[in-house]
Amino acid sequence: MAFTLPELPYAHDALEALGMSKETLEFHHDIHHKAYVDNGNKLIAGTEWENKSLEEIVVGTYQPGAVAQNGIFNNASQHWNHNLFWEIMGPTGKEIPAKLEEALVAAFGSVEKFKEDFAAAGAGQFGSGWVWLVKDKDGSLKITKSENGVNPLCFGQTALLGCDVWEHSYYIDFRNKRPAYLSNFLDKLVNWDAVAAKL
């Protein structure tokens, strides 16, 4: 199944007042994400993966324990990761729905503690990668982080929230201040309705 670049679910300038500029979205979505789509399509053409779903490709090409993943995985996983990233941000959904708030309090003690732990995990991810709120196989909520494009699908987890901590995600707006970007992401950019829908 060919990869396709999704349209953003909001205008390129819709998050500007919330800390993610039009320029960032033009670079990040229109150039970076598109490159994963284009490269992924070239790599799967004529292979056993050509007609598989994106999720099947991610899970099927992941190599546990590998220091570096293969090209098909890298492009497929980053395509999947970015699809989620655009979806769980937005100019609306700034109140955390009760069901999600209850789950966060049960798992982390408070919403503030969840945000603190999530931001710390993202700031502590060495180099490029992602930080996640996941529902694990046993139903519990956990914060995880992953290198490069590795994502929760690889471990049988459900991703509820994911934040891209590759530098291109925040450098235009925050320069090298990753902790400030993460705090802003949680406080202003997340559409909590979209996150709660994944519970």
**CB of 61 closer than 8 Å to CB of 49:** yes
pLDDT in tens, 101-151: 999 999 999 999 999 999 999 999 999 999 999 999 999 999 999 999 999
- Residue 98: phi, psi to the nearest 5? -55, -45
- Residue 155: phi, psi to the nearest 5? -120, 15
pLDDT in tens, 157-184: 999 999 999 999 999 999 999 999 999 9
User: How does DSSP classify residue 147?
Assistant: E
pLDDT in tens, 49-89: 999 999 999 999 999 999 899 999 999 999 999 999 999 99
Question: Residue 67: helix, strand or coil by DSSP?
Answer: coil
pLDDT in tens, 180-197: 999 999 999 999 999 999
Q: Which candidate, 2, 6, 7, places its Cα nearest to that of 39?
A: 2
| Rounded Cα distance, 152 and 160, in Å | 10
Q: Which residues pair with 143 in a beta bridge?
A: 133
